[in-house]
A and B are shown apart, each in its own frame.
Chain A
Amino acid sequence: MVTRPASPVMGLSLKPGKKLRLRFDIWNLGTIVIAVLASVPIVTVIAMAVIPNAAVGDIWRHLISTVLFNYTVTTLGLMLGVGAGTLVIGTGTAWLVTMCRFPGRRIFEWALLLPMAVPAYVIAYIYTDTLEYSGPVQSILRSWFGWSSGADYWFPEIRSLSGAVAMMTLVLYPYVYLLSRVAFLEQSVCALEAGRTLGRGPWRNFFQVALPLARPAIVIGVTLVLMETLNDFGTVDYFAVSTFTAGIFDVWLNMNSPSGAAGLASVLLMFVLVLIILERHARRGQRFHHTTGTYKALPGHRLSRGRGVMASMACALPVLLGFVLPGAVLVKYALIHYQLTLDAEYAIYTLNSLTLSVLAAVVAVTIGAFMAYGLRLSGTPVMKALTRVASLGYAVPGAVLAIGVMIPTAWLDNLVDGVMTETFGISTGLLLSGTIVALVIAYVVRFLALSLGTVEASLAKITPNMDGAARTLGHGPFSVFKRIHLPIMRGSILTAGILVFVDCMKELPMTVILRPFNFHTLATFVHEYASDELLAEASLAALTIVAAGILPVIILSLTITRSRPGYYFIAEAKP
């Protein structure tokens, strides 16, 4: 027997263990700080709306008596329309592409994601330009039928609530498509075949087996769509549809009432809260709905020629209307008018957009990776809850976040400026609120969930046993990070960065509110020009945004083909 030595024998101090514990504290502390900072905007908005003072009472009375009802009805109408539209188009095309065989299916698999690249405001400008009275469609109709004025015929008004529903449906349905397609792919074919043997035809099988199994994923998709719907500012502003987001801008910029805007924002937050609860509930349901079992090649119903053509058309229509047509219009305008865009300081706006987006992406990925690691090292319930709080920004409309960032940063700037002027006689001016710092903060708060989720998913692929194996093979924690974690996660970190980058390139509402004076990004430039009926002049900039938006589409379509169990090496490496 080895006897216990009375004095230290190994000359090895306890440092490794102690250090380990200290590091855990840094993770915890960091996550707490991030969660607190990230929830400042939301807390600010709610506090401004509910903390009673004379002004708040008046504002509420005013809001209730004037706009509140109208905003509520319009917002609900928009949500209902977009929700229903994306649900039908998204699940329908996903089912066709996943379960049936028809001409062009392999192209539609990824092409159906393309409309995601087009921001709703861009498509809104394009369709207005195309469908308005002086646009090409109505002009052609008039010349064909010999109508002389708008009094001679009826044509749907694109700048309306239903127009906004159509625009947003066209670019947001890919969320539902993406998630329901993954759900259909992951469904055990056995469950579907069991349905068939138990006497269900393909149609009844879809409604009674496949759809209920995919329901959690579909609900998540629709809630994400609705969050984006609430976030939209460009379309509703352009179409003069009075939703809450449009209202916040109106009250903030035109009536110059931050408390009023905060009041509206807090009502909007209640909508968001409902969506978050729905989404969380669905995610919990997903765990039980996941039918693990045998996976094999999907059945692939071969459709008859007539039905095949119909299926191709059903899949082609959303792609045509949501991507090809607007893209073609933009390309046409850009080819003719690119010089106008270049003259309008296109280069500077592009540089601004790139700088902001890269900065935000780097910060968001760094913080996201930090939190994902913290969760992995000490995944206590408190840490998990804090992480969820920190990444709540994805659900909060940009306008709300912007107000929530603007008010505290301005307060802090004034405080610092006051102190500095008093003690040193130097005025520091606006350090945060009037600079791109506030914008980057807002971007990071809103898109943190994106980077966190991506890094978390790739970290989950590195099993704790891999860490253990590397440690017992003589590698310390840092070496394990460098030689195991980093190489495996490199791709995902890049993906996370690209996703955040592209969303920042497209971002409009927060940029409009928080941008420094006379500072334009591609998005605000396009918005300003298009609002002044100068779409053609800004087309190159709009095209740039769409081109950037295609990047995540490529990434997503690559991940989705790999998502099927059995494809990816991790799934196969399991005994």
Chain B
Amino acid sequence: MISHHGLGFEGVSHSYNGNKVAHGVSFNVGAGELVCLLGPSGCGKTTLLRLAAGLERLQKGWISVGDELVADGETNRSIPPEQRDVGLMFQDYALFPHLTIFENIIFGLKNLTPERRLWITRSLKQMGLAGLADTYPHTLSGGQQQRVALLRALAPEPRILLLDEPFSGLDVSRRAQIREETLGVLKEAGVATLMVTHDPEEAMYMADRILIMDEGRIIQSGTPLETYFHPVNAYVAALFGPVNRISGSVRNGLVSTSLGNFDAPGIAEGAGAVILIRPEGLHLAPPAEFGAEIPAGAKDVTVDSARLLGRSSHLRLICCADGQGNSPVILHARISGAFLPDAGSSVSMTVDRNQVFVFPAE
């Protein structure tokens, strides 16, 4: 188990204007660990951050920071935010417009030791903000403001760092670079971090562990690998991007579909099942390429359209129109590189079983 010198939530429930945004949420962020809360906008993620920081009053459950209980819904005990030693970086950065960059960064410091001053100078330099210490926030670009906000939150060396959608305000083109920089700074600081995001790619890139939230509940917790390859339900599977959905029913522990039979562990005999296949789980090869070995279980499908998206190609496929009463199945595939067969041509398709998920029908 993870060490507990980080952040702990136990049975936290919270309502906001009558809407329940958290239902018995429990989790830990260990020392030095970076945990991402992933979920769609408005599912209560930000509220959890505000509860951890003490900006929102806890209603039920309890929250600990390090070995200290900072909020207890039962006794209504709550340490005010300024005594929690928790750093929070807001989505809109919330830099103070009347203070310079340097003044913003030292705002949370009790006293400015030479050592801290050195850290600030070094960090500003590292982040390409060296000459900007005495300028005001409004003169900075969005990316620069983001980095100042991060340094401001880190400067007092908080026990916990909370990041609320730290990259959502940035241009897509700058996002990857700033993400990398931020991760470097966080790992160097070694601070336990809880980050909120709705972008699965961002979560996978940043997180040691991902917590997936839906309607105020944490429905899965795991490494990026686990959440991607072993989603607990269809919702989690679909969170990482669009998927192909095929329904069927279970016979003899198998779901039989026009794409073949799939194991259906744990689903009752005769019950409905839904099969999700990621677009990148469909492998294609031109059938006309004689000599190339056609893998077992390959199926011929018709290309409806093929479009180049840059690094990958998107294909819309028509499958299984066998003229025996089975209606055709439309599938979407994503192949890396340029793979652009003519519309109407035939390709042979295999299914990567690692990217197929079988769940009970809802």
B82 pairs with A17, CB closer than 8 A: no
- Closest B residue, CB atoms, query A465: B94
- Closest B residue, CB atoms, query A491: B98
B129 at the binding interface (Cβ < 8 Å): no
B180 at the binding interface (Cβ < 8 Å): no
23 A–B contacts, CB within 8 A, in A order: A4-B72, A5-B69, A17-B57, A463-B94, A465-B91, A468-B55, A468-B90, A469-B94, A469-B95, A469-B96, A470-B107, A471-B82, A472-B81, A472-B86, A473-B107, A473-B153, A473-B156, A474-B82, A474-B85, A488-B98, A570-B138, A573-B92, A575-B169
A573 pairs with B88, CB closer than 8 A: no
Interface centre among B90, B98, B145 (most CB of A within 10 A): B98
A12 pairs with B79, CB closer than 8 A: yes
Determine the distance from Cα of A399 to Cα of B138 in the docked complex, in whole angstroms.
47
A474 pairs with B108, CB closer than 8 A: yes
Total inter-chain residue pairs, C-beta < 8 Å: 126
A151 at the binding interface (Cβ < 8 Å): no
Interface centre among B8, B64, B77 (most CB of A within 10 A): B77
Interface centre among A12, A16, A573 (most CB of B within 10 A): A573
Interface centre among A8, A16, A470, A474 (most CB of B within 10 A): A474
B50 pairs with A468, CB closer than 8 A: yes
What mask results when residues 538 to 575 of chain A are scored 1 for a CB within 8 Å of chain B, else 0?
A: 00000000000000000000000000000001101111
- Closest B residue, CB atoms, query A9: B69
B68 pairs with A10, CB closer than 8 A: yes
B200 at the binding interface (Cβ < 8 Å): no
With contacts A472-B55, A488-B97 taken as known, whether A573 is within 8 angstroms of B78 at the C-beta atoms is no
B334 at the binding interface (Cβ < 8 Å): no
With contacts A17-B76, A468-B88 taken as known, whether A573 is within 8 angstroms of B67 at the C-beta atoms is no
A468 pairs with B169, CB closer than 8 A: no
Expressed in whole angstroms, the minimum distance between the Cβ of B293 and any Cβ of chain A is 52
Residues in A whose Cβ lies below 8 Å from that of B53:
468, 471-472
Q: Which of B257-297 contact A (CB under 8 A)?
A: none
Determine the distance from Cα of A5 to Cα of B86 in the docked complex, in whole angstroms.
21
B10 at the binding interface (Cβ < 8 Å): yes
B253 at the binding interface (Cβ < 8 Å): no
Determine the distance from Cα of A474 to Cα of B109 in the docked complex, in whole angstroms.
8
Partner of B80 from A16, A569, A570, A574 at Cβ < 8 Å? A16
B97 pairs with A573, CB closer than 8 A: yes
Residues in B whose Cβ lies below 8 Å from that of A572:
138
Determine the distance from Cα of A17 to Cα of B79 in the docked complex, in whole angstroms.
8
A460 at the binding interface (Cβ < 8 Å): no
What mask results when residues 1 to 27 of chain A are scored 1 for a CB within 8 Å of chain B, else 0?
A: 110110011101010110000000000
A573 pairs with B145, CB closer than 8 A: yes
B82 pairs with A487, CB closer than 8 A: no
Determine the distance from Cα of A2 to Cα of B76 in the docked complex, in whole angstroms.
18
A240 at the binding interface (Cβ < 8 Å): no
Residues in A whose Cβ lies below 8 Å from that of B136:
569
Determine the distance from Cα of A191 to Cα of B85 in the docked complex, in whole angstroms.
49
A4 pairs with B94, CB closer than 8 A: no
B152 at the binding interface (Cβ < 8 Å): yes
Residues of B that sit less than 8 Å from A by CB: 4, 8, 10, 28, 50, 53-55, 57, 62, 64, 67-69, 72, 76-88, 90-98, 107-108, 110, 136-138, 142, 145, 152-153, 156, 158, 168-170
Expressed in whole angstroms, the minimum distance between the Cβ of A562 and any Cβ of chain B is 12
Interface centre among B69, B91, B153, B169 (most CB of A within 10 A): B69
B96 pairs with A466, CB closer than 8 A: yes
User: Closest 6 interchain pairs by CB?
Assistant: A575-B169, A473-B108, A569-B138, A465-B94, A471-B81, A2-B64
A255 at the binding interface (Cβ < 8 Å): no
Residues in A whose Cβ lies below 8 Å from that of B54:
471-472
A2 pairs with B69, CB closer than 8 A: yes
A469 pairs with B57, CB closer than 8 A: no
B145 pairs with A469, CB closer than 8 A: no
Determine the distance from Cα of A569 to Cα of B137 in the docked complex, in whole angstroms.
8
Expressed in whole angstroms, the minimum distance between the Cβ of B208 and any Cβ of chain A is 19
Chain A interface residue bracket vs B: 35 or more
Expressed in whole angstroms, the minimum distance between the Cβ of B3 and any Cβ of chain A is 11
A273 at the binding interface (Cβ < 8 Å): no
Q: Which of A366-380 contact B (CB under 8 A)?
A: none
A476 at the binding interface (Cβ < 8 Å): yes
Residues of A that sit less than 8 Å from B by CB: 1-2, 4-5, 8-10, 12, 14, 16-17, 461, 463, 465-466, 468-476, 479, 483-484, 487-488, 569-570, 572-575
B82 pairs with A475, CB closer than 8 A: yes
Determine the distance from Cα of A575 to Cα of B76 in the docked complex, in whole angstroms.
36
A575 pairs with B69, CB closer than 8 A: no
B138 pairs with A573, CB closer than 8 A: yes
* Known contacts A9-B68, A12-B77, A575-B92, then 11 further A-B pairs from the complex at CB < 8 Å, ordered by chain A residue: A1-B4, A1-B8, A1-B10, A4-B72, A465-B90, A468-B88, A470-B107, A476-B80, A488-B98, A575-B142, A575-B170
A476 pairs with B92, CB closer than 8 A: no
Determine the distance from Cα of A461 to Cα of B76 in the docked complex, in whole angstroms.
32
Determine the distance from Cα of A468 to Cα of B315 in the docked complex, in whole angstroms.
48
Residues in A whose Cβ lies below 8 Å from that of B90:
465, 468-469
A10 pairs with B152, CB closer than 8 A: no
Determine the distance from Cα of A39 to Cα of B54 in the docked complex, in whole angstroms.
39
Determine the distance from Cα of A544 to Cα of B98 in the docked complex, in whole angstroms.
36
Expressed in whole angstroms, the minimum distance between the Cβ of B86 and any Cβ of chain A is 6
- Closest A residue, CB atoms, query B79: A12
Residues in B whose Cβ lies below 8 Å from that of A469:
88, 90, 94-96, 152
Determine the distance from Cα of A466 to Cα of B149 in the docked complex, in whole angstroms.
11
Expressed in whole angstroms, the minimum distance between the Cβ of A468 and any Cβ of chain B is 5
Determine the distance from Cα of A471 to Cα of B87 in the docked complex, in whole angstroms.
10
Expressed in whole angstroms, the minimum distance between the Cβ of A294 and any Cβ of chain B is 17
Determine the distance from Cα of A572 to Cα of B57 in the docked complex, in whole angstroms.
32
Residues in A whose Cβ lies below 8 Å from that of B50:
468
B4 pairs with A14, CB closer than 8 A: no
A474 pairs with B69, CB closer than 8 A: no
Determine the distance from Cα of A253 to Cα of B42 in the docked complex, in whole angstroms.
64
Expressed in whole angstroms, the minimum distance between the Cβ of A325 and any Cβ of chain B is 42
Partner of B96 from A1, A17, A476, A484 at Cβ < 8 Å? A484
Determine the distance from Cα of A275 to Cα of B53 in the docked complex, in whole angstroms.
47
- Closest B residue, CB atoms, query A18: B76
Residues in B whose Cβ lies below 8 Å from that of A10:
68-69, 77, 79
Interface centre among A17, A472, A487 (most CB of B within 10 A): A472
A574 pairs with B92, CB closer than 8 A: yes
A2 pairs with B55, CB closer than 8 A: no
B4 pairs with A573, CB closer than 8 A: no
Residues in A whose Cβ lies below 8 Å from that of B153:
472-473
Residues in A whose Cβ lies below 8 Å from that of B93:
573, 575
- Closest A residue, CB atoms, query B8: A2
Determine the distance from Cα of A487 to Cα of B10 in the docked complex, in whole angstroms.
40
B76 pairs with A14, CB closer than 8 A: yes
- Closest B residue, CB atoms, query A571: B138
B97 pairs with A472, CB closer than 8 A: no
- Closest B residue, CB atoms, query A461: B97
Residues in B whose Cβ lies below 8 Å from that of A479:
82
Determine the distance from Cα of A465 to Cα of B53 in the docked complex, in whole angstroms.
12
Expressed in whole angstroms, the minimum distance between the Cβ of A430 and any Cβ of chain B is 47
